[in-house]
Amino acid sequence: MVETLSPVVLIVGADAKRLQWMTHHITSQWPESVVSSVPLAQGNALGTVIAESPPDAIFFHVDFGSEPATKYAIDSMLRVLRLRPETHFIVLSSEGDELCAVRALKSGAKDYLPLARISRDLVLTAVAEACAKREASARAARAAQQASTPVAPEIALPGYEILKEIATSNFSSVYLARAQKLSRNVVLKVINTGKSAREMQDAERFQREYEIISSISHPAIVQIHDYGALPQHLYLAMEYFPCGDLRDRLRNPLTVEESLYYLRAIAEALRVIHVFGIYHRDLKPANVMLREDNSPVLIDFGLARRADDDGSSTGVGKVLGSPFYMSPEQAQALPIDSRTDLYSLGVMFYEMLTGARPYLGRSAMAIMAQHTKSPVPVLPSELAAQQPILDRLMAKELRLRYSCTDELLADLNTELSAVA
């Protein structure tokens, strides 16, 4: 079967028993999947449902020999689906002859399943193939967009040999480079400068990142080698980490002991910046690099701000950060303090223990809503001993969360003492 994650499935016209049977098998195979239904009587609502949340697959229960009123509802729905050729819909029919298959495919269906021979494997295979085709179409669209995007001119910075591009975003580009004076590889973070409001804001944010990082000298904080301004660019030359980041490390399962090690080490790194009155605000596995001795290092302080900042230049009142790791107060653009970083650390702790993110969704808003409203996730029974720490890290209410890293570290010391 083709592998897929969290499919969104719409079932149209199925009776309650059939709907329950299909929903059970789909959600058993993909626990994070979303299965909804539309009765034939609400055929005029199908277009709205698809527009609001485009499904990966639509199962359409059709009786080609039905009564005139039912046949009219079926035809209305088929007209909606014909207007959306990108939609992968599969016809289910209680009739099972070859003529039914032909009529289904002529109606625009991508597949036909006679109910007389339907099985769990047929349904799951149809869903997986629909998701695979949708993802292939999305990849093709992205490739076409990239092919039509002009190639940016190569960056040239005096004293540095650009080796390769590591990453790029709307804010900056990151390169691996060779620093001639240092005779070592470094990471160059580069932004364009200009006179537009956006470019001036980016430059101010870039300058603030340099000032924050350069104000702290500690092994747990990335080291700055150089900062420069050219007519068209600002750049930061930073420490290079050949061992990669925690995101790469999480591609392989962690033991409980390894998860606790990273939790403690990252908490200690947060303690350093919090002592300096700095909140990171974008803590996630990709922003935690690893040294050769496996010790973590915090990077990317582009969204960081100081405790005494009035918020005029750091985005207070704006939603900034990664939705997967965002605290409830960040998601609501509320004032934040050091407990925001501890919440993000809790999300990472859950991911380290289970290999999955606690909240998923088809949009950033859907994920942020879960951070705000959904309960703290429950760990599997074999990890229940870690639940109290997770509960305090990911508490929705600030008063129930760890008030500072010292409280968390004290709990971790107690746990380690108990194990010893």
Q: Which region, left, alpha or beta, applies to residue 103 given φ > 0 means left and ψ of -120 to 50 means alpha? A: alpha
Q: Could you tell me where the DSSP H helices lie in 355-404?
A: 364-373, 387-393
Residue 155 identity: I
CA 306 to CA 330: how far, in whole Å? 15
User: Which residue reads 């098998």 in tokens?
Assistant: 25
CA angle 60, 61, 63 (to 5 degrees): 130
* 282, 308, 341, 406: the active-site residue: 282
User: Which of 115, 99, 107, 127 lies closest to 28, judged by CA?
Assistant: 127
CA 405 to CA 177: how far, in whole Å? 35
Quote the tokens at residue 317: 């009142």
Contact, 132 vs 2, CB < 8 A? yes
Count of other CB atoms within 10 angstroms of residue 13: 24
User: Which residue reads 């539309």 in tokens?
Assistant: 38
- Residue 278 CA from chain centroid, whole number: 25
Angle separating helix axes 338-354 and 256-275, nearest 10 degrees = 170
Q: What Rg value do the Cα atoms of the chain yield, rounded?
A: 26
| Residues forming a β-bridge with 114 | 93
Count of residues making up the chain: 420
Is there a catalytic annotation at residue 341? no
**Could you give the 3-state DSSP secondary structure of residue 281?**
coil
CA 368 to CA 323: how far, in whole Å? 6
- In order, the DSSP letters of 323-363 are GGG--HHHHTT----HHHHHHHHHHHHHHHHHSS-S---SS
Which residues are catalytically annotated? 282
